[in-house]
Structure 1
Amino acid sequence: MSFAAKAPEHEIPVPRVLARLVGGDPARAVWVNRLGGVTWSIAEGTPRHRYLKWAPAEALHLDPEAERRRMEWAARWVRVPRVLDSGEEGTGRWLLTEALPGTSAVAPHWSADPGPVAAEIGRGLRVLHEALPCEECPFDWSDGERLERVRERLAAGEGPERWAPEHRGLSVEEALARLENPPAADLPVVCHGDACAPNTLLGDDGRFLGHVDLGRLGTADRWADLAVASWSLEWNYGPGHEEAFFEGYGVAPDTDRIAYYRLLWDLS
């Protein structure tokens, strides 16, 4: 997931400022990331089940308000969580959403047999790409917009030691030269923006149900999503599941576009 999100290793209490959003319901931290963002599951297993996302003020690249706008726009065409509340105060920002039925594609019972799950992740991404109207989308996730972020990070001194192992053999100059020469666009769509495996939900029957974590949703070439979604299968399930993913989506792998968009994801 974005910013190396993972399950927390210890209990994380809900900030006092958000107590009114939780009420007396039990809250369990389910995701944390290296920028200090936390997601809690509230009243899990009840009709009041919801999720609370918190971004500390210093985490400028975590923007719950941007995610709220994107979810409310996308909800006209696809199944995404319903926004219940959002806001900010001095120490951070939050987003409260209603829980969708179903479970993350990386839940243990799905991870035990990832072949069919990988195919459903691909099918679900195709559903998203075909349903959202690119010409009406007010949000941008294009190569040019993201390349500006790459330049900012490199100018601030970030280097290969922070990159994925696949890219650490490149110098900063080599990586930037590759990113400044993008492949020709294949098919512009509204991309999810973080189409990693945990952000696909499956129903009890194992079929695609919906998407979560839409804070980067915007128009881009479809390979911006496809490259990262297929890459995430190895992070979450181990090697050997990309073929099922591409079959589920209905497209043959494009090695040049995959390489470009994985590098862009890594550095941006």
Structure 2
Amino acid sequence: MTYRPLAAAPEADVEVPEPVAEYAAGRGADGERLVPVWLNQLGGLTFRLRLPSGGVEYAKWSPASAGVDLEDEAERLAWAAPFTPVPRPLHSARHDDGAQLLVTAAVPGEAAVSPRWIARPDQAARAIGAGLRALHDALPVEDCPFDWSLASRLTDAKDPARGRELAGAAPGVDRLVVCHGDACAPNTLIGADGYWSAHVDLGALGIADFWADLSIAAWSTVWNYGPGFEGLVYAGYGVEPDAERIAFYREVWDAT
């Protein structure tokens, strides 16, 4: 079993990329108003900008080496925002060195892996499941222009032979929805009341079987909280676990 690159709040000072510093200065959010809040193992950084007006924005920066397209994420956020709570894109830019910047409006809540929710994993796990169900129910499949199907994912499998093997073993579709695409615990935000409040990091959003999302959301509780909370995600979503589809989509996750 392999794991996706993990992300967390920076544990040490980080250098502010020039595009982020320039954008922040233009908004009056330099110095103490610009705070790094998230670092992933691909080198991507997210900063919170506290504006003099009292507003808050988030600047997400990705180096060219990360292979992440933030313009794709901005497009998906703009599409999803009328239907469900997600960050509204405010500014995006691709720089000469290939790095990218995406600035979004703030949304309410804390990540399900903040210290508050790490300490209350049972409540967080239920909120993750309930939030994912609400996302799936809110986003209209018939109007979605984005694809996250098995065919598209397995075409880009790390091992093409393994991709073909999985394509041949795929179970039938249970229910098509617009999936989050990276429904791991950090991408659900939870309000102080213990209920989900928003979703972030929708760069892979697209149409697929809901088990492609749900199996990973539940799995991620093991990585973030330890064993014993997966069942609460399924309960929060409102379904009984489907062992075959869960195992299959986790293999797809590892293969892609």
State if a TM-score over 0.5 links the two structures: yes
Partner of 1:265: 253
Give the CA deviation at 1:176. Answer: 5.3
Give identity over the alignment, percent. Answer: 48
Q: Does the 8 Å contact 1:41/1:52 carry over to 2?
A: yes
Trace 1:166-177 onto structure 2 (pairs within 5 A).
177=165
Q: Would you say 1:154 and 2:159 are equivalent positions? A: yes
Counterpart CA distance in 1 for 2:253 and 2:159 is 14
1:156-235 correspondence runs (5 A): 177-235=165-223
| Gap change, CA 1:84 and 1:122, over 3 Å in 2 | same
The structure 2 residue matched to 1:89, chosen from 80, 84, 95, is 95
Q: 1:116 aligns with which of 111, 123, 127?
A: 123
1:4-23 alignment runs, 5 A limit:
4-23=6-25
1:253 to 232, 238, 241: 241
How far does the alpha carbon of each residue in 1:44-103 deviate from its partner, in whole angstroms, 9 at most, with x for none?
A: 99832221111112322x111000000000011101111111011112111001111211
What is the CA–CA distance in structure 1 between the aligned matches of 2:162 and 2:64, rounded to whole Å?
Answer: 34
Q: Distance in 2 between matches of 1:249 and 1:214?
A: 19
For the Cα contact (< 8 Å) 1:114–1:241, is it kept in 2? Answer: yes
Give the AA of the match of 1:208. W
Q: Which moved more, 1:125-134 or 1:27-36?
A: 27-36
Counterparts in 2 of 1:45 and 1:17: CA distance versus 1, 3 Å: closer
Gaps of 5+ in 2: none
Aligned position for 1:162: none
Question: Where in structure 1 are there 5+ consecutive unaligned residues?
Answer: 156-172
CA offsets per residue over residues 32-55 of structure 1, 9 Å max, x none? Answer: 223221111222998322211111
Partner of 1:132: 139
Q: CA deviation at 1:266?
A: 1.4
Q: 1:177 offset after TM fit, Å?
A: 2.1
1:137–1:32 Cα change, 3 Å: same
SS at match of 1:10: coil
User: 3-state DSSP class of the match of 1:94?
Assistant: strand
Please name the residue that 2:151 is paired with. 144
CA-based RMSD of the aligned residues comes to 2.0
State the partner residue of 1:241: 229
| Structure 1 equivalent of residue 86 of structure 2 | 80
Per-residue CA distance 1:204-260 (angstroms, 9 max, x = gap): 111111111100000000000011000001111111111111111000001111111
TM-score by length of 1: 0.87
Matched position secondary structure for 1:96: strand
Greater alpha carbon shift after TM alignment, 44-53 vs 92-101: 44-53
The answer (yes or no) to whether the contact 1:105–1:198 under 8 Å persists in 2 is: yes
